[in-house]
Each structure stands twice: as structure tokens, then as C-alpha cells.
Amino acid sequence: MITRRLATLARSGLQALDEATVRAVVRQAVRDIRTAPPPPPADPPADPTVAALRRVVDDLAASTHAIGELMLEVAPAYLSDIEAADVLALLCDQIGEPLEHGLAARRYAMSGDRRALHGTVL
């Protein structure tokens, strides 16, 4: 995906791909992969209520990922949860989110794994 995007940029007439441009392309590719919707279940539920609940969970996960990206802007991934908690406590308080949910959203944004939200958001 990254190679294809860089080749498209090169074909567009961009003379030199500087480090910042390559970094932006890689960052966007990672974001696109992490936020891609999960594949549909092999057998979609026949019950419309179950299908509706799955959509709600998918929407909640997507919004939580966006919150997690905000948390990463304030407390970058190189910080441990303990170090991030010190930085994120005020932000979480201001947005009305429990600190544990903010940390879980941050872990989800880093990993893309919904299990990071188990017991907190989901």
C-alpha cells in the first residue's frame, strides 16, 4: 500500500519525496489499516436486532479509536500507561471521560485490537 501511494505521488510530478512526505504517507497508511472496518461476519445475523447491535458496537469502536488518536497526540505511544496517566488525567477530566477509558482508547489506537477496550469501553 505504501509503495503504491509513493509511486502515485512520484507519477504526479513530485520531484523529490522528502522525509516529511514519506512519513505522512506511512502515517496515513497505518491509520487507514487500523481504522478499516472489521470484515463482516461469515454468517450475517438473521436477527435484525443482533445486526443493529453489531453496527452500534462498530460505531462505538470507531469513535473510541478517534478518541484514542487524540490521547496519543497528548501522550505519545512511547510513554507507558503510568506515565500517560499523569499527562492524560486533566484531558480526561475536561472531556468527561474516565481515565481508564482514555488509556484503553489510547491502547486501541496504538494496536487496532478491540480487546484493548474489554472491560472499559466495550
The number of angstroms, rounded, from the C-alpha of 95 to the middle of its chain's C-alpha atoms is 18
- Break the chain down into helix, strand, coil percent, rounded to 5: 70, 0, 30
Burial of 107 (0-12, 13-18, 19+ CB in 10 A): buried
pLDDT at residue 37, rounded to an integer: 64
pLDDT per position as a tens digit, 65-78? 889 989 999 999 99
pLDDT per position as a tens digit, 20-66? 888 888 888 877 777 666 666 677 778 889 888 888 988 898 899 88
Residue 12, helix vs strand vs coil: coil
> Residue 44 and residue 110: Cα distance in Å, rounded?
29
Q: What is the pLDDT confidence band of residue 105, given thresholds at 50, 70 and 90?
A: very high
Calculate mean pLDDT across residues 71-86: 93
User: Which amino acid, residue 101?
Assistant: H
Burial of 117 (0-12, 13-18, 19+ CB in 10 A): buried
pTM: 0.64
Calculate mean pLDDT across residues 81-102: 94
Calculate mean pLDDT across residues 81-107: 94
Through-space distance between the first and last CA atoms of the chain, rounded to whole angstroms:
31
